Amino acid sequence: MKLFTNLFNEIDSSTKTNIKVEALVHYFQLVSEEDILYAIALLIGNRPRRPVKTSQLKLWAAEMSHIPSWLFDDCYYIAGDLAETITLLLKEHPSSHNESLHDVIKALQQTALLSDEEKKNVITNYWQRFTGNELFVFNKLITGNFRMGVSKQLVVKALAKFLQSDETKIAHQLMGKWNPAEETLATLFSDDITADKHYQPYPFYLAYPLEDDIHTLGDINDWILEAKLDGIRGQIIYRANELYVWSRGEDLLTDKFPEFEKLKNSLPAGTVIDGEIIPFKDNRFLSFNELQTRIGRKNITTKILTEVPVVMVCFDLLEWNGEDIRHQPLSYRRELLENVVKNFNENKILILSQSLHFDKWNEAANYRINARQYGTEGLMLKQKNSPYETGRKRGNWWKWKTGPMTIDGVLLYAQSGHGRRANLFTDYTFAVWDEQKKLLPFTKAYSGLTDKEIIEMDNWIKRNTIEKFGPVRSVKPYHVFEIAFEGIAESTRHKSGVALRFPRILRWRKDKHAEEANTVEELRSLLKNNNHE
Protein backbone atom coordinates (compact mmCIF):
# COMPACT_ATOMS: atom_id res chain seq x y z
CA MET A 1 0.00 0.00 0.00
CA LYS A 2 2.90 2.34 0.72
CA LEU A 3 4.28 2.04 -2.80
CA PHE A 4 0.83 2.45 -4.27
CA THR A 5 0.28 5.53 -2.11
CA ASN A 6 3.59 6.92 -3.31
CA LEU A 7 2.44 6.38 -6.87
CA PHE A 8 -0.79 8.16 -6.03
CA ASN A 9 1.13 11.12 -4.57
CA GLU A 10 3.40 11.41 -7.58
CA ILE A 11 0.54 11.32 -10.03
CA ASP A 12 -1.62 13.59 -7.92
CA SER A 13 1.03 16.29 -7.64
CA SER A 14 1.89 16.45 -11.32
CA THR A 15 0.08 17.58 -14.43
CA LYS A 16 2.79 16.45 -16.83
CA THR A 17 2.03 13.23 -18.68
CA ASN A 18 5.63 12.09 -19.04
CA ILE A 19 6.16 12.34 -15.27
CA LYS A 20 3.00 10.31 -14.71
CA VAL A 21 4.08 7.66 -17.21
CA GLU A 22 7.51 7.46 -15.58
CA ALA A 23 5.93 7.11 -12.15
CA LEU A 24 3.75 4.25 -13.42
CA VAL A 25 6.63 2.42 -15.09
CA HIS A 26 8.69 2.84 -11.95
CA TYR A 27 5.86 1.42 -9.85
CA PHE A 28 5.42 -1.60 -12.16
CA GLN A 29 9.12 -2.30 -11.83
CA LEU A 30 9.01 -2.22 -8.03
CA VAL A 31 6.00 -4.32 -7.11
CA SER A 32 4.88 -7.92 -7.42
CA GLU A 33 2.96 -9.27 -10.41
CA GLU A 34 -0.21 -9.47 -8.34
CA ASP A 35 0.12 -5.83 -7.32
CA ILE A 36 0.65 -4.80 -10.93
CA LEU A 37 -2.56 -6.54 -11.98
CA TYR A 38 -4.63 -5.04 -9.17
CA ALA A 39 -3.15 -1.61 -9.79
CA ILE A 40 -3.94 -1.73 -13.53
CA ALA A 41 -7.49 -2.79 -12.79
CA LEU A 42 -7.94 0.09 -10.37
CA LEU A 43 -6.32 2.65 -12.63
CA ILE A 44 -8.42 1.88 -15.68
CA GLY A 45 -11.64 1.89 -13.69
CA ASN A 46 -12.05 -1.86 -13.38
CA ARG A 47 -12.86 -1.43 -9.71
CA PRO A 48 -13.67 -4.09 -7.17
CA ARG A 49 -17.16 -4.25 -5.76
CA ARG A 50 -17.70 -2.01 -2.74
CA PRO A 51 -17.11 -4.20 0.32
CA VAL A 52 -19.45 -2.33 2.67
CA LYS A 53 -22.37 0.02 2.35
CA THR A 54 -21.76 3.75 2.34
CA SER A 55 -24.27 4.19 5.15
CA GLN A 56 -22.26 1.84 7.34
CA LEU A 57 -19.00 3.63 6.61
CA LYS A 58 -20.59 6.94 7.56
CA LEU A 59 -21.92 5.48 10.78
CA TRP A 60 -18.62 3.94 11.85
CA ALA A 61 -16.58 7.02 10.93
CA ALA A 62 -18.94 9.31 12.88
CA GLU A 63 -18.74 6.99 15.84
CA MET A 64 -14.96 6.83 15.71
CA SER A 65 -14.62 10.61 15.52
CA HIS A 66 -17.22 11.16 18.26
CA ILE A 67 -19.62 13.30 16.27
CA PRO A 68 -23.34 12.94 15.55
CA SER A 69 -24.35 11.73 12.12
CA TRP A 70 -25.89 15.07 11.08
CA LEU A 71 -22.51 16.72 11.63
CA PHE A 72 -20.85 13.98 9.62
CA ASP A 73 -23.27 14.75 6.80
CA ASP A 74 -22.49 18.48 6.97
CA CYS A 75 -18.77 17.70 6.77
CA TYR A 76 -19.35 15.36 3.84
CA TYR A 77 -21.35 18.03 2.11
CA ILE A 78 -18.49 20.53 2.40
CA ALA A 79 -15.63 18.16 1.58
CA GLY A 80 -17.68 16.73 -1.27
CA ASP A 81 -16.00 13.36 -1.15
CA LEU A 82 -16.72 10.57 1.28
CA ALA A 83 -13.19 9.17 1.34
CA GLU A 84 -11.75 12.59 2.04
CA THR A 85 -14.32 13.37 4.72
CA ILE A 86 -13.51 10.20 6.61
CA THR A 87 -9.78 10.84 6.25
CA LEU A 88 -10.08 14.37 7.62
CA LEU A 89 -12.25 13.32 10.53
CA LEU A 90 -10.19 10.42 11.79
CA LYS A 91 -7.37 11.49 14.03
CA GLU A 92 -3.92 10.71 12.70
CA HIS A 93 -2.39 7.47 13.87
CA PRO A 94 1.18 6.35 13.44
CA SER A 95 1.15 4.01 10.48
CA SER A 96 1.98 0.44 11.40
CA HIS A 97 1.59 -2.20 8.74
CA ASN A 98 3.25 -3.47 5.62
CA GLU A 99 0.45 -4.93 3.61
CA SER A 100 0.65 -4.70 -0.14
CA LEU A 101 -2.11 -3.40 -2.39
CA HIS A 102 -3.39 -6.85 -3.27
CA ASP A 103 -3.35 -7.95 0.39
CA VAL A 104 -5.66 -5.08 1.23
CA ILE A 105 -7.98 -5.58 -1.73
CA LYS A 106 -8.22 -9.31 -1.07
CA ALA A 107 -8.94 -8.71 2.60
CA LEU A 108 -11.66 -6.26 1.62
CA GLN A 109 -13.19 -8.70 -0.83
CA GLN A 110 -13.31 -11.39 1.83
CA THR A 111 -15.41 -9.15 4.07
CA ALA A 112 -18.32 -9.83 1.73
CA LEU A 113 -19.03 -13.02 3.64
CA LEU A 114 -18.70 -11.50 7.12
CA SER A 115 -21.35 -10.18 9.47
CA ASP A 116 -21.74 -6.41 9.85
CA GLU A 117 -19.97 -6.45 13.19
CA GLU A 118 -17.01 -8.34 11.72
CA LYS A 119 -16.89 -6.00 8.72
CA LYS A 120 -16.79 -3.07 11.09
CA ASN A 121 -13.83 -4.63 12.88
CA VAL A 122 -11.89 -5.08 9.67
CA ILE A 123 -12.52 -1.53 8.44
CA THR A 124 -11.97 0.31 11.72
CA ASN A 125 -8.83 -1.72 12.23
CA TYR A 126 -7.47 -0.41 8.97
CA TRP A 127 -8.56 3.09 9.94
CA GLN A 128 -6.38 2.83 13.01
CA ARG A 129 -3.36 1.62 11.09
CA PHE A 130 -3.38 3.89 8.05
CA THR A 131 -2.56 7.56 8.16
CA GLY A 132 -2.44 10.60 5.88
CA ASN A 133 -2.50 9.87 2.17
CA GLU A 134 -2.44 6.15 2.73
CA LEU A 135 -5.64 6.45 4.74
CA PHE A 136 -7.11 8.52 1.92
CA VAL A 137 -6.16 5.96 -0.75
CA PHE A 138 -7.60 3.20 1.44
CA ASN A 139 -10.85 5.14 1.87
CA LYS A 140 -11.00 5.64 -1.88
CA LEU A 141 -10.82 1.86 -2.25
CA ILE A 142 -13.65 1.19 0.18
CA THR A 143 -15.92 3.95 -1.06
CA GLY A 144 -15.60 2.53 -4.55
CA ASN A 145 -14.90 5.76 -6.41
CA PHE A 146 -11.18 5.39 -6.77
CA ARG A 147 -9.84 7.66 -9.43
CA MET A 148 -6.23 8.64 -9.94
CA GLY A 149 -5.30 11.45 -12.30
CA VAL A 150 -4.42 9.15 -15.17
CA SER A 151 -6.34 8.30 -18.29
CA LYS A 152 -6.57 4.80 -19.62
CA GLN A 153 -4.41 5.90 -22.53
CA LEU A 154 -1.66 6.88 -20.11
CA VAL A 155 -1.77 3.52 -18.37
CA VAL A 156 -1.59 1.85 -21.78
CA LYS A 157 1.43 3.96 -22.63
CA ALA A 158 3.20 3.04 -19.40
CA LEU A 159 2.39 -0.67 -19.83
CA ALA A 160 3.65 -0.66 -23.41
CA LYS A 161 6.88 0.78 -22.12
CA PHE A 162 7.10 -1.62 -19.21
CA LEU A 163 6.23 -4.72 -21.24
CA GLN A 164 8.02 -3.49 -24.36
CA SER A 165 4.88 -4.03 -26.35
CA ASP A 166 2.66 -2.09 -28.71
CA GLU A 167 0.13 0.47 -27.40
CA THR A 168 -2.72 -0.59 -29.71
CA LYS A 169 -2.26 -4.17 -28.68
CA ILE A 170 -2.22 -3.34 -24.97
CA ALA A 171 -5.34 -1.21 -25.34
CA HIS A 172 -7.14 -4.16 -26.87
CA GLN A 173 -5.88 -6.57 -24.23
CA LEU A 174 -7.22 -4.35 -21.46
CA MET A 175 -10.76 -4.14 -22.83
CA GLY A 176 -13.73 -5.45 -20.93
CA LYS A 177 -14.22 -6.39 -17.31
CA TRP A 178 -11.43 -8.78 -16.40
CA ASN A 179 -10.73 -9.94 -12.89
CA PRO A 180 -7.21 -9.31 -11.59
CA ALA A 181 -7.52 -12.30 -9.28
CA GLU A 182 -7.94 -14.62 -12.25
CA GLU A 183 -5.20 -13.22 -14.46
CA THR A 184 -1.44 -13.22 -14.67
CA LEU A 185 0.62 -10.85 -16.79
CA ALA A 186 0.97 -13.73 -19.25
CA THR A 187 -2.75 -14.39 -19.61
CA LEU A 188 -3.81 -10.75 -19.59
CA PHE A 189 -1.28 -9.78 -22.20
CA SER A 190 -1.51 -12.98 -24.22
CA ASP A 191 -0.75 -12.57 -27.91
CA ASP A 192 -3.59 -14.63 -29.25
CA ILE A 193 -6.40 -12.55 -27.94
CA THR A 194 -9.33 -13.58 -30.14
CA ALA A 195 -8.77 -17.25 -29.37
CA ASP A 196 -8.35 -16.88 -25.61
CA LYS A 197 -10.83 -14.15 -24.94
CA HIS A 198 -13.61 -14.33 -27.42
CA TYR A 199 -15.80 -12.04 -25.29
CA GLN A 200 -13.39 -9.12 -25.57
CA PRO A 201 -14.45 -6.01 -27.50
CA TYR A 202 -12.11 -3.84 -29.54
CA PRO A 203 -11.12 -0.45 -28.17
CA PHE A 204 -13.62 2.07 -29.51
CA TYR A 205 -12.51 4.67 -32.01
CA LEU A 206 -13.83 8.05 -30.84
CA ALA A 207 -14.07 11.27 -32.80
CA TYR A 208 -13.10 14.75 -31.64
CA PRO A 209 -15.46 17.63 -32.28
CA LEU A 210 -14.58 19.52 -35.44
CA GLU A 211 -12.89 22.78 -34.47
CA ASP A 212 -11.60 24.11 -37.76
CA ASP A 213 -13.53 25.42 -40.72
CA ILE A 214 -15.27 22.61 -42.58
CA HIS A 215 -13.50 23.50 -45.81
CA THR A 216 -10.13 22.52 -44.35
CA LEU A 217 -11.27 18.91 -44.75
CA GLY A 218 -10.77 19.08 -48.51
CA ASP A 219 -12.93 17.31 -51.08
CA ILE A 220 -16.30 16.22 -49.68
CA ASN A 221 -16.16 13.16 -51.92
CA ASP A 222 -13.32 11.78 -49.82
CA TRP A 223 -15.63 11.64 -46.83
CA ILE A 224 -18.50 9.53 -45.63
CA LEU A 225 -21.10 11.63 -43.83
CA GLU A 226 -23.57 10.06 -41.43
CA ALA A 227 -26.24 11.39 -39.12
CA LYS A 228 -25.10 11.61 -35.51
CA LEU A 229 -27.66 9.82 -33.38
CA ASP A 230 -28.22 9.93 -29.65
CA GLY A 231 -28.13 6.44 -28.20
CA ILE A 232 -25.68 4.09 -26.58
CA ARG A 233 -22.51 3.42 -28.51
CA GLY A 234 -21.84 -0.28 -28.50
CA GLN A 235 -20.24 -3.33 -30.09
CA ILE A 236 -22.06 -6.52 -30.94
CA ILE A 237 -19.70 -9.48 -30.86
CA TYR A 238 -20.51 -12.93 -32.11
CA ARG A 239 -17.76 -15.47 -31.58
CA ALA A 240 -17.66 -19.14 -30.53
CA ASN A 241 -21.45 -19.40 -30.41
CA GLU A 242 -21.72 -16.59 -27.91
CA LEU A 243 -23.15 -13.15 -28.45
CA TYR A 244 -21.99 -10.15 -26.42
CA VAL A 245 -23.10 -6.55 -26.35
CA TRP A 246 -20.57 -4.09 -24.97
CA SER A 247 -21.03 -0.39 -24.31
CA ARG A 248 -18.40 2.24 -24.92
CA GLY A 249 -18.03 2.48 -21.15
CA GLU A 250 -16.99 -1.19 -21.32
CA ASP A 251 -20.08 -2.44 -19.57
CA LEU A 252 -21.36 -5.79 -20.70
CA LEU A 253 -24.96 -5.05 -21.69
CA THR A 254 -25.91 -8.41 -23.23
CA ASP A 255 -28.61 -9.04 -20.62
CA LYS A 256 -30.01 -5.54 -20.95
CA PHE A 257 -30.67 -6.03 -24.66
CA PRO A 258 -32.00 -9.58 -25.10
CA GLU A 259 -33.41 -8.66 -28.52
CA PHE A 260 -29.92 -8.98 -30.04
CA GLU A 261 -29.70 -12.61 -28.90
CA LYS A 262 -31.55 -13.68 -32.06
CA LEU A 263 -28.62 -12.55 -34.19
CA LYS A 264 -26.98 -15.82 -33.16
CA ASN A 265 -29.18 -17.47 -35.75
CA SER A 266 -28.01 -15.28 -38.57
CA LEU A 267 -24.54 -13.86 -38.04
CA PRO A 268 -21.54 -15.87 -39.15
CA ALA A 269 -18.98 -16.67 -36.43
CA GLY A 270 -16.29 -14.04 -35.88
CA THR A 271 -18.34 -10.89 -36.45
CA VAL A 272 -17.95 -7.60 -34.58
CA ILE A 273 -20.20 -4.64 -35.39
CA ASP A 274 -19.83 -1.09 -34.09
CA GLY A 275 -22.91 1.11 -33.86
CA GLU A 276 -25.40 3.04 -31.80
CA ILE A 277 -28.13 1.30 -29.82
CA ILE A 278 -31.32 3.28 -30.26
CA PRO A 279 -34.94 2.79 -29.14
CA PHE A 280 -36.99 2.24 -32.28
CA LYS A 281 -40.69 1.53 -32.63
CA ASP A 282 -43.23 1.66 -35.46
CA ASN A 283 -40.57 2.80 -37.84
CA ARG A 284 -39.40 5.75 -35.84
CA PHE A 285 -36.75 6.51 -33.24
CA LEU A 286 -37.84 7.17 -29.66
CA SER A 287 -36.19 9.71 -27.36
CA PHE A 288 -33.05 8.93 -25.44
CA ASN A 289 -35.02 9.50 -22.25
CA GLU A 290 -36.98 6.32 -22.86
CA LEU A 291 -33.83 4.34 -23.43
CA GLN A 292 -32.45 5.69 -20.19
CA THR A 293 -35.51 4.59 -18.28
CA ARG A 294 -35.22 1.16 -19.80
CA ILE A 295 -31.53 0.87 -18.87
CA GLY A 296 -32.37 1.90 -15.32
CA ARG A 297 -34.77 -1.03 -14.86
CA LYS A 298 -33.53 -4.03 -12.92
CA ASN A 299 -35.61 -6.52 -14.87
CA ILE A 300 -36.26 -6.44 -18.55
CA THR A 301 -39.92 -7.37 -18.76
CA THR A 302 -41.89 -8.25 -21.88
CA LYS A 303 -43.76 -5.03 -21.32
CA ILE A 304 -40.58 -2.97 -21.57
CA LEU A 305 -39.48 -4.95 -24.60
CA THR A 306 -42.66 -4.09 -26.45
CA GLU A 307 -42.81 -0.52 -25.20
CA VAL A 308 -39.19 0.46 -25.84
CA PRO A 309 -37.65 -1.99 -28.30
CA VAL A 310 -34.15 -1.25 -29.55
CA VAL A 311 -32.19 -1.64 -32.75
CA MET A 312 -28.57 -1.10 -33.57
CA VAL A 313 -27.79 1.52 -36.15
CA CYS A 314 -24.60 0.00 -37.53
CA PHE A 315 -21.78 2.10 -38.89
CA ASP A 316 -18.71 -0.09 -38.85
CA LEU A 317 -17.55 -3.65 -39.11
CA LEU A 318 -14.41 -4.48 -37.12
CA GLU A 319 -14.17 -8.22 -37.49
CA TRP A 320 -15.43 -10.45 -40.28
CA ASN A 321 -15.07 -14.25 -40.49
CA GLY A 322 -12.87 -14.10 -37.42
CA GLU A 323 -10.46 -11.67 -39.00
CA ASP A 324 -9.59 -8.30 -37.51
CA ILE A 325 -10.24 -5.88 -40.40
CA ARG A 326 -9.72 -2.59 -38.53
CA HIS A 327 -6.71 -1.69 -40.65
CA GLN A 328 -8.78 -1.91 -43.86
CA PRO A 329 -10.17 1.36 -45.31
CA LEU A 330 -13.59 2.43 -44.09
CA SER A 331 -15.09 2.21 -47.58
CA TYR A 332 -14.18 -1.47 -47.67
CA ARG A 333 -15.48 -2.14 -44.16
CA ARG A 334 -18.75 -0.39 -44.99
CA GLU A 335 -19.25 -2.51 -48.07
CA LEU A 336 -18.99 -5.65 -45.97
CA LEU A 337 -21.24 -4.07 -43.36
CA GLU A 338 -23.95 -3.38 -45.93
CA ASN A 339 -23.80 -7.03 -46.83
CA VAL A 340 -24.18 -8.06 -43.18
CA VAL A 341 -27.18 -5.82 -42.62
CA LYS A 342 -28.79 -7.04 -45.82
CA ASN A 343 -28.18 -10.77 -45.56
CA PHE A 344 -27.44 -11.77 -41.98
CA ASN A 345 -29.99 -9.69 -40.18
CA GLU A 346 -32.44 -11.71 -38.09
CA ASN A 347 -35.61 -9.77 -37.25
CA LYS A 348 -34.26 -6.64 -38.95
CA ILE A 349 -32.70 -5.62 -35.69
CA LEU A 350 -29.71 -4.15 -37.45
CA ILE A 351 -30.18 -0.92 -39.38
CA LEU A 352 -27.53 0.50 -41.63
CA SER A 353 -26.37 3.98 -40.74
CA GLN A 354 -27.12 5.72 -44.03
CA SER A 355 -24.36 7.71 -45.59
CA LEU A 356 -25.78 11.10 -46.50
CA HIS A 357 -25.01 12.60 -49.87
CA PHE A 358 -24.18 16.25 -50.28
CA ASP A 359 -22.51 17.81 -53.29
CA LYS A 360 -20.87 20.58 -51.30
CA TRP A 361 -19.79 21.21 -47.74
CA ASN A 362 -22.26 24.12 -47.59
CA GLU A 363 -25.14 21.69 -48.07
CA ALA A 364 -23.78 19.57 -45.25
CA ALA A 365 -23.52 22.70 -43.13
CA ASN A 366 -27.19 23.41 -43.82
CA TYR A 367 -28.17 19.94 -42.74
CA ARG A 368 -26.18 20.36 -39.53
CA ILE A 369 -27.89 23.61 -38.61
CA ASN A 370 -31.31 22.00 -38.98
CA ALA A 371 -30.23 18.62 -37.64
CA ARG A 372 -32.83 18.59 -34.87
CA GLN A 373 -35.62 18.68 -37.41
CA TYR A 374 -34.28 15.40 -38.76
CA GLY A 375 -34.10 13.99 -35.25
CA THR A 376 -30.32 13.91 -35.20
CA GLU A 377 -27.56 15.69 -33.32
CA GLY A 378 -25.58 16.69 -36.37
CA LEU A 379 -23.09 14.87 -38.54
CA MET A 380 -20.27 12.39 -38.27
CA LEU A 381 -17.52 12.96 -40.80
CA LYS A 382 -15.30 10.01 -41.67
CA GLN A 383 -12.49 9.82 -44.18
CA LYS A 384 -13.30 7.08 -46.71
CA ASN A 385 -9.93 5.39 -46.46
CA SER A 386 -9.57 5.70 -42.67
CA PRO A 387 -8.62 2.67 -40.60
CA TYR A 388 -10.50 1.98 -37.37
CA GLU A 389 -8.23 3.57 -34.78
CA THR A 390 -7.92 3.18 -31.02
CA GLY A 391 -9.30 5.75 -28.58
CA ARG A 392 -9.93 9.40 -29.25
CA LYS A 393 -7.93 10.56 -32.25
CA ARG A 394 -7.95 13.61 -34.49
CA GLY A 395 -7.74 13.65 -38.26
CA ASN A 396 -9.77 10.86 -39.84
CA TRP A 397 -13.03 11.09 -37.93
CA TRP A 398 -14.82 14.19 -36.67
CA LYS A 399 -18.12 14.85 -34.99
CA TRP A 400 -19.89 17.96 -36.16
CA LYS A 401 -22.72 18.61 -33.79
CA THR A 402 -25.50 21.09 -34.26
CA GLY A 403 -25.57 24.05 -31.88
CA PRO A 404 -27.32 23.68 -28.55
CA MET A 405 -30.80 25.03 -27.82
CA THR A 406 -30.83 27.99 -25.50
CA ILE A 407 -33.21 29.74 -23.17
CA ASP A 408 -32.86 32.64 -20.75
CA GLY A 409 -33.68 31.74 -17.16
CA VAL A 410 -33.76 33.65 -13.88
CA LEU A 411 -31.59 32.47 -11.00
CA LEU A 412 -33.97 31.34 -8.26
CA TYR A 413 -32.07 29.01 -5.91
CA ALA A 414 -28.41 28.50 -5.14
CA GLN A 415 -26.62 25.73 -3.34
CA SER A 416 -22.97 25.54 -2.36
CA GLY A 417 -20.76 23.30 -4.43
CA HIS A 418 -18.78 20.20 -3.68
CA GLY A 419 -15.09 19.53 -3.76
CA ARG A 420 -13.32 22.03 -5.95
CA ARG A 421 -16.05 24.53 -5.24
CA ALA A 422 -16.83 23.85 -1.61
CA ASN A 423 -17.78 27.03 0.28
CA LEU A 424 -18.97 28.74 -2.86
CA PHE A 425 -22.51 28.91 -4.16
CA THR A 426 -22.13 27.28 -7.54
CA ASP A 427 -25.14 25.04 -8.09
CA TYR A 428 -27.97 27.09 -9.47
CA THR A 429 -31.62 26.47 -10.20
CA PHE A 430 -33.19 28.55 -12.95
CA ALA A 431 -36.76 29.52 -13.65
CA VAL A 432 -38.88 30.88 -16.48
CA TRP A 433 -42.07 32.94 -16.21
CA ASP A 434 -45.36 31.06 -16.21
CA GLU A 435 -48.79 32.26 -17.36
CA GLN A 436 -49.50 33.82 -13.96
CA LYS A 437 -46.26 35.81 -14.13
CA LYS A 438 -44.71 33.58 -11.52
CA LEU A 439 -41.31 31.99 -11.77
CA LEU A 440 -41.34 28.29 -12.50
CA PRO A 441 -38.09 26.38 -11.91
CA PHE A 442 -37.14 24.30 -14.95
CA THR A 443 -33.53 23.23 -14.60
CA LYS A 444 -30.38 23.11 -12.56
CA ALA A 445 -27.03 23.94 -14.10
CA TYR A 446 -23.55 23.90 -12.66
CA SER A 447 -20.74 24.58 -15.04
CA GLY A 448 -20.22 27.46 -17.37
CA LEU A 449 -19.06 30.42 -15.31
CA THR A 450 -15.45 31.48 -14.86
CA ASP A 451 -13.94 31.28 -11.38
CA LYS A 452 -14.09 35.05 -11.20
CA GLU A 453 -17.78 35.13 -12.09
CA ILE A 454 -18.46 32.40 -9.56
CA ILE A 455 -16.91 34.47 -6.79
CA GLU A 456 -18.86 37.53 -7.88
CA MET A 457 -22.07 35.50 -7.95
CA ASP A 458 -21.27 33.93 -4.59
CA ASN A 459 -20.89 37.34 -2.99
CA TRP A 460 -24.16 38.51 -4.48
CA ILE A 461 -26.02 35.39 -3.33
CA LYS A 462 -24.82 35.78 0.24
CA ARG A 463 -26.12 39.33 0.30
CA ASN A 464 -29.41 38.65 -1.47
CA THR A 465 -30.65 35.52 0.24
CA ILE A 466 -34.36 35.51 0.92
CA GLU A 467 -34.66 32.18 2.69
CA LYS A 468 -32.47 29.27 3.70
CA PHE A 469 -33.60 25.67 3.37
CA GLY A 470 -30.71 23.60 4.67
CA PRO A 471 -27.90 24.08 2.17
CA VAL A 472 -30.20 25.72 -0.37
CA ARG A 473 -30.91 29.44 -0.50
CA SER A 474 -33.61 31.21 -2.38
CA VAL A 475 -32.45 34.50 -3.82
CA LYS A 476 -33.98 37.66 -5.15
CA PRO A 477 -35.06 37.08 -8.79
CA TYR A 478 -32.60 39.39 -10.48
CA HIS A 479 -29.91 37.71 -12.54
CA VAL A 480 -30.57 36.23 -15.97
CA PHE A 481 -28.48 33.45 -17.48
CA GLU A 482 -28.54 31.91 -20.92
CA ILE A 483 -28.86 28.16 -20.50
CA ALA A 484 -27.76 25.85 -23.27
CA PHE A 485 -28.89 22.23 -23.59
CA GLU A 486 -28.66 19.39 -26.06
CA GLY A 487 -32.11 17.92 -25.87
CA ILE A 488 -35.55 18.47 -24.42
CA ALA A 489 -38.19 15.88 -23.56
CA GLU A 490 -41.57 15.82 -21.90
CA SER A 491 -41.43 14.92 -18.24
CA THR A 492 -44.06 14.42 -15.59
CA ARG A 493 -41.43 14.45 -12.86
CA HIS A 494 -40.63 18.12 -13.40
CA LYS A 495 -42.94 20.97 -12.47
CA SER A 496 -42.20 22.66 -15.78
CA GLY A 497 -43.22 19.54 -17.69
CA VAL A 498 -39.89 19.24 -19.48
CA ALA A 499 -36.53 17.59 -18.83
CA LEU A 500 -33.38 18.98 -20.39
CA ARG A 501 -30.37 17.00 -21.52
CA PHE A 502 -26.91 18.35 -20.57
CA PRO A 503 -28.01 21.79 -19.38
CA ARG A 504 -25.22 24.26 -18.69
CA ILE A 505 -24.72 27.99 -18.34
CA LEU A 506 -23.76 29.55 -21.65
CA ARG A 507 -23.37 33.09 -20.36
CA TRP A 508 -24.41 35.56 -17.74
CA ARG A 509 -26.83 37.99 -19.36
CA LYS A 510 -25.98 41.08 -17.36
CA ASP A 511 -27.71 43.09 -20.06
CA LYS A 512 -31.10 41.58 -19.22
CA HIS A 513 -33.54 42.22 -16.40
CA ALA A 514 -35.36 39.34 -14.75
CA GLU A 515 -38.61 40.36 -16.49
CA GLU A 516 -36.92 39.80 -19.85
CA ALA A 517 -36.21 36.12 -19.25
CA ASN A 518 -38.10 33.54 -21.33
CA THR A 519 -41.53 32.12 -20.53
CA VAL A 520 -42.63 28.57 -19.95
CA GLU A 521 -44.57 28.81 -23.19
CA GLU A 522 -41.38 29.56 -25.09
CA LEU A 523 -39.73 26.61 -23.36
CA ARG A 524 -42.53 24.27 -24.39
CA SER A 525 -42.41 25.49 -27.97
CA LEU A 526 -38.81 24.28 -28.09
CA LEU A 527 -40.16 20.89 -27.12
CA LYS A 528 -42.56 20.94 -30.04
CA ASN A 529 -40.20 22.30 -32.68
CA ASN A 530 -37.20 20.19 -31.89
CA ASN A 531 -38.69 16.76 -31.67
CA HIS A 532 -39.28 15.33 -35.08
CA GLU A 533 -42.10 12.94 -35.83
- Contact 37/180 with Cβ under 8 angstroms? yes
* Binding status of residue 9 toward another protein by CB under 8 A: no
Using CB under 8 A as the binding rule, whether residue 74 contacts another protein is answered as yes
CB-facing half-sphere around the CA of 29: CA atoms within 13 A? 11
DSSP of 167-184: HHHHHHHT-S---GGG--
In this structure, the chain runs to a length of 533
CA distance 335 to 350: 15
CA-based radius of gyration for the chain: 26
CA distances for 444 relative to 355, 407, 512, 520, 521, angstroms: 37, 13, 20, 15, 19
| Angle, CA 222 vertex, CA 217 and CA 225 arms, to 5° | 80
Q: What are phi and psi of 150, to 5 degrees?
A: -130, 140
Does 80 help bind another protein (rule: CB under 8 A)?
A: yes
Q: Which is nearer to another protein, 268 or 419 (CB)?
A: 419
Contacting another protein (CB under 8 A), which of 85, 143, 353, 415? 85
Give the orientation angle of helix 17-30 with respect to helix 33-43, to 10 degrees: 150
Among 328, 224, 333, which Cα is nearest to 271's?
Answer: 333
Q: Does 68 bind another protein (CB under 8 A)?
A: yes
Q: Are 206 and 389 in contact (CB under 8 A)?
A: no
Considering only the stretches 75-83, 105-113, 246-254, 343-351, report the one whose residues sit in contact with another protein under the rule CB under 8 A: 75-83
* Residue among 54, 38, 57 nearest 46 (CA): 38
Q: What minimum distance in Å lies between the beta carbon of 97 and another protein? A: 22
Angle between helices 82-89 and 132-143 (to 10 degrees): 140
Q: Toward another protein, which CB reaches closer, 354 or 459?
A: 459
* Choice between 49 and 463, CB closer to another protein: 463
Of 82-90, 240-248, 357-365, 399-407, which segment contacts another protein by CB under 8 A?
82-90
Q: Is 89 in the site for another protein (CB under 8 A)?
A: yes
The residue among 78 and 351 lying less far from another protein, judged by its C-beta, is: 78
Applying CB under 8 A, does 75 fall inside the site for another protein? Answer: yes
Q: Which helix (H) or strand (E) holds 245?
A: strand 242-247
Given the complex with another protein, which of 72 and 413 has the nearer CB atom? 72
Q: From the CB of 303, what's the least distance to another protein, in Å?
A: 44
Contact between 84 and another protein per CB under 8 A: yes
Is-contact 509 408, C-beta < 8 A? yes
Q: Minimum distance between the CB of residue 58 and another protein, rounded to whole angstroms?
A: 13
Segment interacting with another protein (CB under 8 A) among 81-89, 189-197, 231-239, 392-400: 81-89
C-alpha 303/C-alpha 289 separation (Å) is: 17
Adjacent-strand bridge partners of 429:
413, 444
Interacting residue with another protein among 17, 19, 53, 71 (CB under 8 A): 71
The dihedrals phi and psi of 265, each to the nearest 5 degrees, come to -75, -20
**47 or 418, CB closer to another protein?**
418
User: Which of residues 46 and 128 has its CB atom nearest to another protein in the complex?
Assistant: 128
Q: Is 11 in the site for another protein (CB under 8 A)?
A: no
Q: How many residues bind another protein (CB under 8 A)?
A: 27
Question: Smallest distance, Å, CB 290 to another protein?
Answer: 36
Site stretch for another protein (CB under 8 A), options 41-49, 67-75, 180-188, 212-220: 67-75
Cβ proximity to another protein: between 4 and 315 the closer is: 4
CA quadruple 245, 237, 39, 186: dihedral, nearest 10? 160
Q: Which of 59, 78, 295, 356 binds another protein (CB under 8 A)?
A: 78
Q: How far is the CB of 135 from another protein (least distance, A)?
A: 13
Q: State the burial class of residue 280 (Cβ atoms within 10 Å of its Cβ: 0-12, 13-18, 19+).
A: buried
Nearer to another protein, 73 or 521 (CB): 73
149/268 with CB nearer another protein: 149
Distance (Å, whole) CA 325 – CA 314: 16
Site string for another protein, 403-442 (x = CB under 8 A): ---------------xxxxxx-------------------
Residue type, 346: E
6 vs 292, beta carbon nearer another protein: 6
Return the DSSP state at 252.
B
| 3-state helix/strand/coil string of 415-427 | EECCHHHCCCEEE
456-475 residues in contact with another protein (CB under 8 A) are: 459, 463
58 binds another protein, rule: CB under 8 A: no
Q: How far is the CB of 52 from another protein (least distance, A)?
A: 21
Name which of residues 160 to 219 contact another protein (CB under 8 A): none
List contacts with another protein (CB under 8 A): 13, 65, 67-68, 70-71, 74-75, 78-81, 84-85, 88-89, 91, 418-423, 451, 455, 459, 463
